[in-house]
Amino acid sequence: MGALFLLALAALAVRQFAANGQLAAARWEPYATWPMWRYLLGGLWSTVLAALVSAALAMAAGLALALGRLSRRPWVRRPSAAYVEVVRTIPALLLVYVVLFALPRYGLDLPLFWKLVAPLTVSNASLFAEVFRAGILSIERGQGEAGLAVGLTHGQTMRLIVLPQAARRVLPSIVSQSVGLLKDTSLGFVVSYAELLYSGKVLAAYNGLLIQTYIVVALVYLVVNASLSKLARTLEARQPRRRPSRA
Partner 1 sequence: MSALLDHLPEFWQGLIVTLQLTAASFAGAAVMGLVVTALRVSPVPVLRGIGTAYVETLQNLPLLVLLVLAVFGLPEIGIKAGLLVTAIVVIALYEGAYIAEALRSGVNAVSAGQGEAARALGLTFGQSLRHVILPQALRTVVQPIGNIFIALTMNTSLAAAIGVVDLTATANRVNLLEAQPIPIFVGAGLAYALIAACAGFVTGRLERRLAVIR
Binding site for partner 1 (CB under 8 A): 2-3, 6, 16-17, 19-20, 22, 86, 88-94, 97-98, 101-103, 105, 179, 182-187, 189-190, 197, 201, 204, 210-211, 214-215, 217-218, 221-222, 225-226, 229
* Count of residues making up the chain: 247
Question: Which CB sits closer to partner 1, 11 or 160?
Answer: 11
Q: How far is the CB of 149 from partner 1 (least distance, A)?
A: 35
Question: Which CB sits closer to partner 1, 153 or 239?
Answer: 239
First to last CA, the chain: 51
Q: Helix and strand tally (H, E) in the chain? A: 12, 0
Question: Which CB sits closer to partner 1, 157 or 199?
Answer: 199
Q: How far is the CB of 106 from partner 1 (least distance, A)?
A: 8
Q: Helix axis angle, 163-184 relative to 112-138, nearest 10°?
A: 140
CB burial class (10 A; 0-12, 13-18, 19+) of residue 183?
Answer: middle
Q: How far is the CB of 206 from partner 1 (least distance, A)?
A: 15
Question: Which CB sits closer to partner 1, 98 or 167?
Answer: 98
Q: 3-class DSSP state for residue 38?
A: helix
Q: How far is the CB of 96 from partner 1 (least distance, A)?
A: 9
Residues 6+ apart with CB under 8 A from 25: none
Q: How far is the CB of 185 from partner 1 (least distance, A)?
A: 8
